Amino acid sequence: MKMFVCIKRVPDTSEADVKIDQTGKSVDSSRFSFGINDADNYAVEEAVLIKEARGGEIKFLCIGPKDSDVVIRMSLAKGGESAVRIEDPRINQKDPLQVAKVLAAAIKREQFDLVMTGCMSADDSNMSVGVALAEELGVSHAAMVKSVEILDGKIKVKRELEGGLTEVVEMSLPAVITIQTGINVPRYAPVRGIREAQKKELKVLKLEDLGLAEEEVSEAGSRVELMKLYIPVVASNAEMIQGTPDEKAEIMAVKMVKGGLL
Partner 1 sequence: MGDIFVLAEHRRGELREVSLEMLAAASSVAPQLGGKITAILLGSGVNSFAEKLAGYSDKVLYVDDPLFAEYNSEKYQLALSDLISRYQPELVMVPHTTQGVDMAPALAVELKMPFVADVAGLSFEGGKLQPVRTYYQGKINADFAFKGKPPYLITVRESSFSAGDPSKQGTVEKIASPLKEDIQYRKFVEYIEAVVGDVDISQAEILVAIGRGLREEKNLSMIEDLAKSINAVIAGSRAAIDAGWLPHDRQVGTSGKNVKPKVYIAIGISGAFQHLAGMKAAKTIIAINKDPNAPIFTVADYAIVDDLFKVVPKLTEKLKELRA
Ligand X SMILES: Cc1cc2nc3c(=O)[nH]c(=O)nc-3n(C[C@H](O)[C@H](O)[C@H](O)COP(=O)(O)OP(=O)(O)OC[C@H]3O[C@@H](n4cnc5c(N)ncnc54)[C@H](O)[C@@H]3O)c2cc1C
Q: What is the largest CA-CA distance in the chain?
A: 70
> Residue 3 in contact with residue 57, Cβ under 8 Å?
yes
Report if residue 236 touches ligand X, rule: CB under 6 A.
Answer: no
Of the candidates 20, 27, 127, 169, which one interacts with ligand AMP according to CB under 6 A?
A: 127
Contact of residue 37 among ligand X, partner 1, ligand AMP, none (CB under 5-8 Å per partner type)? ligand AMP
Which lies closer to ligand AMP via its Cβ, residue 63 or residue 137? 63
Contact of residue 118 among ligand X, ligand AMP, partner 1, none (CB under 5-8 Å per partner type)? ligand AMP
> Residue 68 in contact with residue 107, Cβ under 8 Å?
no
What span, in angstroms and rounded, lies between the C-alpha atoms of 94 and 97?
A: 9
Is beta strand 140-150 parallel, antiparallel or unpaired with respect to 154-160? antiparallel
Give the closest residue to 1 by CA, choosing from 231, 155, 189.
155
Mark residue 62 as left, alpha or beta (left: phi above 0; alpha: psi -120 to 50; beta: remaining): beta
Report if residue 96 touches partner 1, rule: CB under 8 A.
Answer: yes
Find the residue with minimal CB distance to ligand AMP: 118
Q: Which of residues 63-122 bind ligand AMP (CB under 6 A)?
A: 63-64, 93, 96, 99, 117-118, 120-121
Which lies closer to ligand AMP via its Cβ, residue 182 or residue 243? 182
For ligand AMP, what does the binding mask look like between residues 166 and 205, x meaning CB under 6 A? ----------------------------------------
Report if residue 238 touches partner 1, rule: CB under 8 A.
Answer: yes
Q: Which stretch binds ligand AMP (CB under 6 A): 12-20, 61-69, 163-171, 194-202?
A: 61-69
Give the closest residue to 216 by CA, choosing from 107, 102, 139, 132.
102
Report if residue 30 touches partner 1, rule: CB under 8 A.
Answer: no
Contacts of 27 (CB under 8 A, 6+ apart): 18, 19, 20, 21, 229
Of the candidates 6, 43, 107, 120, which one interacts with ligand X according to CB under 6 A?
A: 120
